[in-house]
Structure 1
């Protein structure tokens, strides 16, 4: 709960001279539901951080609303650009709470060479390692936002593919892929995945380099939907999967590591306010893949605001009223 002023985490206010908040920092008040006020919360300031993509914005607003409802004074630092600033804020105590992914912490922050596909083992390994960094991982959600490949549902039926292993049965000219630049260079990314499925990149018997297009994230979904490539790299909780009627292929050799999301708290903050674990115990078990796909879809496809989606879902679950 240290409060040094840093440019890293500062979020500028629009029209500050008029006293107006930036739009993405506005969070409406909610009344208690299953989340109840916590004794000793009054006057205690907590900082909630998040990264700046849709899922993180929704989860961040859920945390802000929950902690406000529990009676804490919440400083909203959601919408921070990039993973590294959020991690730096968390380990330094500038951020008291954020949602993080087990695979991201293991591979990116802790610099482990390989991810762990087993969800429980991945979580326990991260939780144990991050205790040394003054971070406590609370129990994770069922939601697992890992990498996957998707195909147009009609093409999946035409080509007879349901799993990544099925790609090897296709003619080489049908083994076309769209991926992001970052995914193409990750330890848990494209090239190692192809090797795990006996489809070496650059081989005439595997995946010729001309069969691969490197695109921005949004363009991958569009290109896959339009059939510019058969197989597009996706995130498994992205709302566009459902809205575009894409079929996610089974990772039948369990190549991709687990990326379950969990509340991560600065350990001194949790030690001072152990009731925080009870607050998130009301929320985390409700966050499944299907739930997150729907919430993401409402923002990315329907154009709703993350804070409105977060509050509406919390009310629908009885967490707040």
Structure 2
């Protein structure tokens, strides 16, 4: 199947999902653009008349502009949390520089002779500003506005990293599920939206620069084309789907993996089918537990799938408990006591950490266990996701038990590890036992012979406040208890990652096959 036909198929099959993301992207971008414009124009005009503030303000916005955007999103998580508010603040910060700079530059570069002439004719300061400075500076100001708009629309694509939605979610989901057509659809949509805005503003800019006293049809078209673009954006807003009439809403979040997308859809579709509660999906949140758990504490998220080992070692930072049932009982009690969260069920499969390398290499080097790998580790490059190197239940703790001395360690996105292994960028990776790509790439899963990794049984965590608010949720998830074994989860992951099915489709099939929904 050609790339074009795959893109068309993806749009046809997921048009509702993509439409929803488009609306989210437009709303976020428009809100940021309006606020940036107001603050930027006021600040640009202010530093024109208040020179003592000029250097500090321009220096500050220039400095903020140099901070990598992904880092800025992360920096605001402790202060603002995840979601829309965080994304809006970051977009505003990045958009201020071109507006402030161009506003000040345009107003400041007006010919002083014109200003002196106006003063000599008795013009008031307001008349000088409104009739001379502003009209002459407007093309420069509009140019800065144009740059800001395009940049804001493009940068809004990163908002999905912190659960703020938008078209970037399609890109991020495509990366996380190894779906190249979804990546292309999301990327093309962002590019087209930015291009449409750029062409519209450019048309207005061009029409303002024309010296013709009478506008012909073409110039009139150019003048109003940009206004038409923005009118269409507002129409999209008006046509966006309203929420359910009951006003009930619950936020379901997931980490950025195919498995988590599937589990998130199972949870969401079960709620939607059995209750009248509207589900807001915040799937694929970057940083996983480290960002989702604080958001749960703040009430920004109501429910998400988690793993027992991660919760016990990474969140609670407790000593390891090897027996799965004892671990779950202790975990359930601690979560209720410390966070007022409830582990409502265990789904049945154990997605524990493991280490893997190509079967041919393992066979050649006679490596079957973690200890055997440790003895030869100076010959290998190890790759893992960023947070694995920071976690006590990750490389820090693992290296205390097994004396690894890898030739090099590479930090990369959780979903790029297998590509790095395939491209020989790394030789060994950490993996999850239910990852379908282990089977696809014929990797050897090594035995944890000293039993470092605890059980990572998947379960569902929900805020007790949410259960009290919506009593119809009580008992709903108990129907999922022990329903998904390792083989079933591996198969569902394979369907999403290898066969390119959507997580929603796979989840629906599972729910129907098990009689959970009609």
- On the 8 A contact 2:84/2:164 being kept in 1, the answer is no
Q: Alpha-carbon deviations, 1:260-308, whole Å to 9, x = none?
A: 2211122133345555343212223222222222222222233222211
Structure 2: which 5+ runs fail to align?
1-82, 87-161, 168-232
The equivalent position to 1:235 in structure 2, one of 424, 429, 432, is 432
Within a 5 Å distance, the mapping from 1:127-146 to structure 2 comes to 127-132=332-337, 133-146=339-352
Asked which structure has the greater CA Rg, the reply is: 2
Question: CA separation in 2, counterparts of 1:157 and 1:56?
Answer: 32
Q: Secondary structure at the match of 1:140?
A: strand
Bigger share in helix = 2
Aligned CA distance change for structure 1 residues 274 and 165 (closer, same or farther; 3 Å): farther
Question: Structure 1 CA distance, aligned partners of 2:298 and 2:459?
Answer: 19
Q: What do residues 16-63 of structure 1 show as CA deviations (whole Å, max 9, x unaligned)?
A: 515346xxx9xxxxxxxxxxxxxxxx9482413212412222111111
CA gap 1:45/1:160 in 2 versus in 1, 3 angstroms:
same
TM alignment of 1:243-258, pairs within 5 A: 243-258=440-455
- Give 1:196 deviation, angstroms: 0.8
The Cα of 1:172 is off from its aligned counterpart by: 5.4
- Secondary structure of 2:85's counterpart equals coil
- Equivalent position to 2:262, from 24, 34, 58: 58
Query: Which consecutive unaligned segments of at least 5 residues does structure 1 have?
Result: 26-41, 202-206
Residue 267 of structure 1 pairs with residue 464 of structure 2: yes
Aligned mate of 1:88, from 270, 294, 306: 294
- Which of 30, 39, 49 is residue 252 of structure 2 equivalent to? 49
Pairs within 5 Å for 1:76-155: 76-79=280-283, 81-82=285-286, 83-110=289-316, 112=317, 114-132=319-337, 133-155=339-361
| Partners of 2:436 and 2:493 within 8 A in 1 | yes
**2: CA distance, partners of 1:191 / 1:84:** 16
Q: How does 1:268-283 map to 2 (within 5 A)?
A: 268-271=465-468, 276-283=473-480
TM-score normalized by structure 2?
Answer: 0.50
What is residue 20 of structure 2 aligned with on the other side? none
Distance in 1 between the 2:478 and 2:501 partners?
27
The 3-state SS of whatever aligns with 1:186 is coil
Which stretch shows the higher mean deviation, 141-150 or 8-17? 8-17
Rounded to whole Å, the distance in 1 between the matches of 2:468 and 2:382 is 48
- Once residues 239 and 233 of structure 1 are traced to their aligned partners in structure 2, the CA distance between those partners, rounded to angstroms, is 14
Structure-2 change in CA distance of 1:52 and 1:230 (3 Å)? closer
* RMSD (CA atoms): 3.2
Distance in 1 between residues matched to 2:239 and 2:262, nearest whole Å: 25
Secondary structure in 1 matching 2:347 = coil
For 1:252 and 1:56, the matched residues in 2 are separated by: 28
Measured in 1, the distance between the counterparts of 2:377 and 2:424 equals 16
- Cα distance, 1:113 vs structure 2: 5.3
When residues 185 and 267 of structure 1 are mapped into structure 2, their CA distance, relative to the original with a 3 A threshold, is closer
Which structure features the higher share of strand residues? 1
Partner SS state of residue 149, structure 1: strand
Tell me the SS of whatever aligns to 1:47.
strand
1:7 lines up with 2:85 in the alignment: yes
Query: More displaced, 219-228 or 308-317?
Result: 219-228
Q: CA deviation at 1:88?
A: 3.4
How many angstroms apart in 2 are the aligned matches of 1:95 and 1:295? 25
SS across alignment from 2:306: strand
Residue 195 to residue 290, structure 1, CA distance change in 2 (3 Å): same
- Report the more deviating stretch, 247-256 or 184-193: 184-193
Mark the CA change 1:172 to 1:183 in structure 2 (over 3 Å): closer, same or farther: closer
The Cα of 1:66 is off from its aligned counterpart by 0.5
1:271–1:69 Cα change, 3 Å: same
Write the deviation string for residues 141-193 of structure 1: whole angstroms up to 9, x where unpaired: 2222232101212333333332212324x545545422333322321222431
Q: Contact 1:49/1:80 (CA < 8 Å) preserved in 2?
A: no
Shift of 1:11: 4.4
The answer to whether the aligner puts 1:195 opposite 2:392 as a matched pair is no
The DSSP-based 3-state class of the residue aligned with 1:232 is strand
TM-score, normalised by the number of residues in structure 1: 0.76
Residues in 2 aligned to 1:117 and 1:302: alpha-carbon distance in whole angstroms: 35
Q: Is the 8 A contact 1:164 1:252 kept in 2?
A: yes
- Residue 303, structure 1, aligned to residue 500, structure 2: yes
